[in-house]
């Protein structure tokens, strides 16, 4: 039986447009995205300081990108951490699209539209 109390678990939270990683039931970090047609655009990743340097961001990104792969979508790595991670993992190259000015402009508008208080 798997010991879920110590295994970090990654979950997609559609309503908040992000994947979260939990350790011992506590949220330790997240990677945020917006969907642009068939592309999942990742723009921000963070791991709480208390959990830094334990490989959690790497584990989170792998799980998130595997989920994108299984859904048949493509990846756009606007987040510098995701871009750096992809540069070290060739096996995701076939599902990665470039970050274009058009995508950046769309993302900017999308994030402004959903900013709190608007
Ligand atoms: C960047 C951050 C998400 C890394 O989280 P973490 O769980 O400590 O990272 P990991 O332990 O999984 O590190 C995995 C690898 O990423 C590298 N790395 C760490 N920070 C990095 C960064 N900002 N950019 C690129 N690579 C980074 C590590 O050196 C490590 O490389 P290695 O596997 O070759 O040794 C975390 O430090 C953070 O939340 N920072 C503040 C927000 C931020 O800068 N986010 C990134 C841009 S949106």
How far apart are alpha carbons 66 and 46 in whole angstroms? 19
Query: Could you tell me what percentage of the chain is helix, strand and coil, using 3-state DSSP and rounding each to the nearest 5?
Result: 40, 30, 30
Q: Is the CB of 81 under 6 A from ligand 1?
A: yes
Over the stretch 80-91, which tens digit does the pLDDT of each residue have?
999 999 999 999
What token pair was written down for 97? Answer: 């699209």
Using CA positions, which residue lies closest to atom 3 of ligand 1?
46
Q: Is the CB of 31 under 6 A from ligand 1?
A: no
Q: Which domains does the chain have, with CATH numbers?
A: 9-113 (3.40.630.30)
pTM of the model: 0.92
Question: pLDDT of 12-47, one tens digit each?
Answer: 999 999 999 999 999 999 999 999 999 999 999 999
Give the atom of ligand 1 at the shortest distance from the alpha carbon of 48. 39
- The answer to whether the CB of 30 is under 6 A from ligand 1 is no
The pLDDT of 59-76, averaged and rounded, is: 98
């Amino acid at each position: 039986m798997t010991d879920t109390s110590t295994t970090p678990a990654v979950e997609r939270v559609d309503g908040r447009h992000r994947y979260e990683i939990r350790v011992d039931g506590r949220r330790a970090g997240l990677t945020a995205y917006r969907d642009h047609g068939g592309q999942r655009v990742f723009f921000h990743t963070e791991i709480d300081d208390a959990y830094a340097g334990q490989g959690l961001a790497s584990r989170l990104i792998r799980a998130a990108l595997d989920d994108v792969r299984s859904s048949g979508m493509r990846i756009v790595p606007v987040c510098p951490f995701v871009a750096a991670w992809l540069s070290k993992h060739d096996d995701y190259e076939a599902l990665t699209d470039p970050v274009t000015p058009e995508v950046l402009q769309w993302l900017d508008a999308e994030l402004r539209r959903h900013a709190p208080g608007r």
